[in-house]
Amino acid sequence: MTSDKQHIDQLMLEKLTGSISGEDDHALQQLMAADPALKDAFSCLQQQFNEPAAKQYLDQLDESQLWEERKHLFKKNNARNMRVLYWAAAGILLLLVSALYFLFPGEQPRQPVAAIKSAAPANSVILQMANGQTIVLSDTTQSSLLNIGSAQMRVSSKSLQYEAAGTDAPTAMNLLQVPAGKDYKLTLPDSTEIWLNAMSEIRFPVSFNGRTREVFVSGEAYFSVRKDINRPFIVHTGQFSVNVLGTAFNINTYSSNSPRLSLSSGKVSLKSKTGNQSVQLSPGYEAIYNPQQGNGFRVDEFNARNTLAWMEGKYYFRNTSLKEIAVVIRRLFDVKVQFTAPGAENITVSGVLTKKEGLPEFMDNLSKTTDIKYQLTGSVLQIL
């Protein structure tokens, strides 16, 4: 009798390979909805399957040969033929996953965010190494120079710079997380510079030893990519990937409905996750992705002052609803916004929010130009 865990593993594997039935898919969705840890585990496994190295390995596998080599392990019984075939298929799938774990140890599913945060002080910038080691980068009491294996890093509360990484350094992905109220600069081993906005994260290797330089990002980040004609730089997001040689651009994926890339210099090509939608950009233009419209990408000019102002701790609003501004306040100041006045969230205002001047200054100015009142208590802002 197969355990519940084995059955759930089987459902997740069938979901990943597209062989799950409608009934089983519905059952799995219900299980994940009831158990956030299970949902996180599936997301980790899904990310592992999407890694370039893993995809290449799976594409090269001959499943027919694997079946011929192992079919003797599965006993046939006419009365239970369908069940035997079901678990035989599970064995092949589990074999593939085991191969990924042993052949690509650096691409193990990353530890759930909740688990990482529990091991570090709240509101900390966290570096989760591929080997499981957690480093609190915003801890000002630690040494400014860290040695992790063959990698040497210079660390401060605002930046992390790789100063040296041997050619034999592992290519496994590390995870850098920036919480609400913070921003952080990362300098990769190839001298590419990345500025991460609040509530953003990036996965990157200690060293780029392959034919490409690939990272994974979510949230918002500004890239200044070091040119290397022999190794293209590729940025992966949940909806599209970006291929560049040497250029500067801003990626914003806060909204899953309209992730965008704004190009400051150079040229880039974007390709949807499905691979059937693509676009090329020139400086001064941005691509906004919506898979439901046309070829998925809409290209427009963008205002660099407004788009890149976050790097200076500024946000410009023009006829923007308080509901939209509340999202920015949450990221910038780590403050929760509650609307108690009916319809207050739909009030539109224009102005600038500056991190340096602080939230009270912004709210005071807002109160003078509108009829709203506010109360700021600890980490909660109430719009009265």
DSSP line for 96-160: HHHHHHHH-GGGPPPPPHHHHHHTS-TT--EEE-TTS-EEETT-TTS-SEEEETTEEEEE-SSEE
Report yes or no: 31 and 8 within 8 Å, Cβ to Cβ.
yes
pLDDT of residue 381: 97
pLDDT of residue 1: 34
How far apart (Å, rounded) are the C-alpha atoms in residues 381 and 335?
7
pLDDT of residue 51: 56
How far apart (Å, rounded) are the C-alpha atoms in residues 249 and 265?
7
pLDDT of residue 347: 92
Which residue in 207, 195, 319, 325 sits closest to 248, CA to CA?
195
Which residues, listed in sequence order, are joined to residue 220 by a DSSP beta bridge? Answer: 252
Torsion of CA 292, 294, 300, 304, to 10 degrees: 40
φ, ψ for residue 149, nearest 5 deg:
65, -125
Tens place of pLDDT per residue across the chain (384 aa)? 334 665 777 787 777 766 677 777 788 888 887 776 677 677 767 766 665 555 554 555 554 554 455 444 444 444 444 444 444 444 445 445 444 443 444 444 444 333 334 456 678 999 998 878 888 998 877 778 887 767 788 999 899 998 766 555 556 789 999 999 999 999 998 999 999 999 999 999 888 888 999 999 999 999 999 999 999 999 999 899 999 988 999 999 999 889 999 999 999 999 998 878 899 999 999 999 987 776 789 999 999 999 999 999 999 999 999 999 999 999 999 999 999 988 999 999 999 999 999 999 999 999 988 888 999 999 999 998
pLDDT of residue 81: 44
pLDDT of residue 90: 44
How far apart (Å, rounded) are the C-alpha atoms in residues 263 and 251?
9
How far apart (Å, rounded) are the C-alpha atoms in residues 171 and 210?
8
pLDDT of residue 100: 45
In the chain, what are the helix, strand and coil shares in percent, each to the nearest 5?
35, 30, 35
pLDDT of residue 98: 43
What pTM value is reported for the model?
Answer: 0.69
How far apart (Å, rounded) are the C-alpha atoms in residues 236 and 217?
6
pLDDT of residue 6: 58
pLDDT of residue 242: 96
